[in-house]
């Protein structure tokens, strides 16, 4: 069941987000959609899902335009796995997976059939989630929740599985667990199209890569063909070494530099703990008000890394999509040591960047003033099973200052005489 994307364009408020994209996805292929933040990856996926309507071009399956198909028919062909899934209701894991059977219901008031129950059990056994089928969904770990959502998708009996950054909030073991599962499903014949950020993971698991930049399809081919030093420098503005992993035989990309960029200034220094695009506005605000600014730890290729580079801000870096390591953490603490204040931005916290919160706690222990952006919603950003929320709570109890909106940060800083 091949999928065709033909001359597809999409705009928002007159700005072109996708520009004349054309590609073919073969039946049974594992295709990775890659590119910098803002390149159009997720927008393209949403056009395939039919969540967005292209202004030009079309998406076809078996030569049939998707816009001519009924919703129920579409739901039997495609299943979607979003970035994250937090629910306010106390559904069990089984309930969540049973939702995947809705495309097969003749009436919304009908109960589950024997075939529904069988499909759900098969999907949960295939994803190793049957053992906690009766547990509340929100009590599960991030990796367990993601496997349940994949089970829900499998219960739909789709031909094509669409995933938007399926490993984004998982630790390293969780990432490989999910990607191993997807590879096995693909080998069984399921076509997979996944938005991914991690070049090394994509190289290991994807058959082909579609590399986007500024809404254009810049390169399409195998990981070896796409992830060249020249392409990565051109698209990501990053100087890398590309080598082959001797164990997996897949492409491995390593930045040539991943250390703190030094800077000196007589102005009061504020260190921003950020990531995921949460720090750019803060860094600009502080610079505009005359503060000296540093940032960390952010992964190379993160949009906050790009913001820091563009603003010429000293930044502690970690290699792309890796957990914060000992060296980067130590550099982060040294940067904090030379600052008068620390700002903890409102980034989603997973196992990979939890050390940024630990750095904020270290700053407070060493008598640095800590400011926390939007602490009231810390729980919504916590993908660590409550550890991040607990650290933020301790920070507030020991004198950290909560700031509801980023625009209010400067006035909060000015109230502290040492950092005016």
Instruction: Check residue 255 and give its pLDDT.
Output: 72
Average pLDDT of span 358-383: 93
Is the model's pLDDT at 257 over the cut of 60? Answer: no
Closest Cα to residue 83, out of 123, 54, 42? Answer: 42
In which residue are the tokens 């860094």 written? 283
Average pLDDT of span 349-377: 94
Instruction: Check residue 262 and give its pLDDT.
Output: 45
Is the model's pLDDT at 318 over the cut of 50? Answer: yes
Closest Cα to residue 216, out of 6, 56, 12, 19? Answer: 19
Question: For 269-417, CATH number?
Answer: 3.40.50.450
Query: Highest-confidence range of 110-114, 305-309, 367-371, by mean pLDDT?
Result: 367-371
Give the total residue count for the chain: 420
Q: Give the count of alpha carbons within 13 A of 211, CB side only.
A: 21
Average pLDDT of span 307-321: 84
**Residue 165 to residue 397: CA distance in whole angstroms:** 35
What's the pTM?
0.68
Average pLDDT of span 194-206: 91
Share of the chain above pLDDT 70, in %: 93
Alpha helices in 70-140 (DSSP H): 71-75, 93-98, 114-126
What class, spelled out in words, does domain 3-255 have in CATH?
alpha beta
The per-residue pLDDT for range 106-128, each reduced to its tens digit, is: 655 556 788 899 999 999 999 99
Is the model's pLDDT at 263 over the cut of 50? Answer: no
The per-residue pLDDT for range 337-360, each reduced to its tens digit, is: 999 999 999 999 999 899 999 999
Quote the Cα angle for 172-173-174, to 5°. Answer: 90
Helix (H, G, I), strand (E, B), or coil: what is residue 107?
Answer: coil
Say if 3-255 and 269-417 have the same CATH topology. yes
Q: How many CB atoms lie within 10 A of CB 14?
A: 5
In which residue are the tokens 């600014």 written? 293
**Domain spans, the chain:** 3-255, 269-417
Grade residue 414 by pLDDT with cuts at 50, 70 and 90. confident
């Amino acid at each position: 069941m091949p999928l065709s994307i033909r001359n597809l364009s999409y705009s928002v408020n007159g700005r072109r987000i996708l520009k004349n994209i054309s590609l073919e996805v073969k039946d049974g292929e594992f295709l990775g959609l890659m590119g910098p933040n803002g390149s159009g990856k997720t927008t393209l996926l949403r056009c395939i899902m039919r969540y967005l309507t292209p202004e030009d071009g079309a998406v076809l399956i078996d030569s049939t335009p998707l816009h001519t198909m009924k919703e129920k028919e579409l739901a039997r062909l495609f299943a979607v796995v979003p970035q994250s899934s937090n629910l306010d209701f106390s559904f069990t894991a089984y309930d969540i997976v049973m939702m995947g059977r809705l495309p097969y219901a003749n009436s919304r008031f009908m109960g589950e059939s024997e075939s529904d129950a069988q499909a759900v059990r098969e999907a949960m056994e295939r994803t190793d989630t049957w053992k906690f089928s009766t547990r509340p969904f929100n009590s599960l770990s991030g990796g367990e929740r993601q496997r349940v959502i994949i089970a829900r998708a499998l219960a739909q009996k789709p031909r094509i599985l669409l995933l938007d950054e399926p490993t984004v909030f998982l630790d390293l073991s969780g990432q490989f667990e999910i990607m191993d599962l997807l590879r096995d499903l693909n080998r069984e014949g399921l076509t997979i199209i996944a938005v991914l950020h991690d070049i090394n993971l994509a190289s290991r698991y994807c058959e082909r890569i579609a590399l986007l930049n500024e809404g254009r399809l810049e390169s399409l081919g195998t990981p070896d063909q796409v992830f060249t030093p020249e392409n990565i420098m051109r698209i990501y503005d990053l100087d890398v070494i590309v080598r082959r992993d001797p164990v997996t035989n897949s492409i491995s990309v390593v930045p040539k530099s991943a250390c703190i960029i030094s800077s000196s200034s007589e102005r009061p220094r504020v260190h921003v703990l950020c990531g995921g695009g949460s720090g750019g506005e803060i860094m600009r605000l502080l610079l505009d008000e005359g503060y000296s600014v540093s940032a960390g730890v952010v992964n190379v290729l993160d949009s906050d890394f790009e913001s820091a580079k563009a603003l010429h801000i000293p930044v502690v870096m970690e290699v792309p999509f890796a957990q914060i390591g000992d060296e980067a953490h130590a550099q982060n603490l040294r940067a904090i040591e030379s600052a008068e204040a620390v700002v903890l931005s409102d980034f989603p916290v997973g196992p990979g960047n939890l050390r940024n919160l630990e750095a904020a706690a270290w700053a407070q222990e060493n008598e640095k003033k800590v400011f926390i952006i939007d602490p009231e919603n810390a729980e919504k950003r916590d993908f660590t099973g409550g550890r991040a929320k607990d650290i933020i709570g301790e920070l507030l109890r020991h004198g950290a200052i909560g700031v509801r909106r980023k625009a209010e940060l400067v006035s909060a800083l000015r109230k502290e005489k040492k950092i005016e």
